[in-house]
Amino acid sequence: MLENYLILGDAKIEIRYVEGERRFAAQAFDVLDGALPTITSYFGIAQPFPKVRVILVASRAEFDRLVRDLLGVEIEVPSHPARIAWPLGTLNSRCGPGKSTVDAIDSQKTIRDER
């Protein structure tokens, strides 16, 4: 299901991304790597924090597919703007910034069509 995604990460964080998105994957990794010690310290988490996995998806359609097939969440339109980036367990699926320009335009059209 994720065989076309490249991986960047370590024992604590895994970022999956598509070709051409390495810069965004590296940025996401750096932010999460810096945030995890603060989060675990603030909340007093003594045991190892579960591995955080993020998938930077290539399109809204791919986001919808992964939410449905990988996470097993039955939502009619997972990529609806009100639902984007809901964390589900330790997996967080996001539309990759480098691929979302056209999708953002399509998203606005979809919202207007739904009204």
More confident residue, 96 or 101: 96
List the beta strands (DSSP E) in 35-112.
Answer: 52-57, 91-95
Q: Determine contact, residues 2/55, Cβ cutoff 8 Å.
A: yes
pLDDT tens digits, 2-14? 888 999 999 999 9
Tokens of 41: 């310290």
More confident residue, 64 or 6: 6
The residue extents of the domains of the chain are 6-114
Q: Quick one: pLDDT at residue 98?
A: 57
Backbone angles phi, psi at 105, to 5 degrees: -65, -45
**Could you tell me which residues come within 8 angstroms of residue 74 by beta carbon, excluding any fewer than 6 positions away?**
68
Q: Quick one: pLDDT at residue 32?
A: 92
Q: Which amino acid is at 1?
A: M
Tokens of 32: 């999460």
pLDDT tens digits, 45-55? 877 778 888 98
Q: Quick one: pLDDT at residue 115?
A: 35
Half-sphere exposure of residue 13: CA atoms within 13 angstroms, side-chain side: 17
* DSSP SS3 for 54: strand
